[in-house]
Amino acid sequence: MQKDKKSEIIFKVELDDKNIPEKISWNTFPDEQNEFKDTKSVMLSIWDAKENNTLRLDLWTKEMRVDEMRTHFLQTLVTSAESFHKATGNPYVMADMKEFCEKLAQKTNEWEKNQM
């Protein structure tokens, strides 16, 4: 009989005196190297079945640049669509989300250029 496998994902967030994240690190356990990896941003969605609601945790450090945030955000949208497609087989989500993200990226690039 196989024992139940378990794993953990742990996030560590170091805050400044105004509770703004200065450093974010994460690790999975078991992890052979047992090393925390630094990151500048975390976007986490958790489904609360009891409340029928999505809980969000979005954190980023002061060092996260706007262009990095844009890329992270758009990649998160695309990979969320990929996960939804894989789970449901919905034939529209991938093409429509990729088209939306391409348009949004183009508009965002134009907006960012105008901000300079």
Each residue of 82-93: pLDDT tens digit? 999 999 999 899
More confident residue, 23 or 116: 23
Q: Kindly list the domain boundaries of the chain, sorted by start residue.
A: 1-62, 65-116
Q: How many CB atoms lie within 10 A of CB 93?
A: 17
User: 36 near 26, Cβ under 8 Å?
Assistant: yes
Instruction: Give the CA angle between residues 112, 65, 76 to the nearest 5°.
Output: 85
The 10s digit of each residue's pLDDT in 46-59 is 999 999 999 999 99
- pLDDT for the residue numbered 7: 87
pTM for the full predicted model: 0.82
The closest alpha carbon to 23, from 32, 13, 33, 9, belongs to 13
pLDDT at 5: 82
Q: How many angstroms separate the Cα of 32 from the Cα of each of 6, 8, 25, 36, 78?
A: 15, 13, 17, 11, 30
SS3 20: coil
Q: Output the average pLDDT for the chain.
A: 92
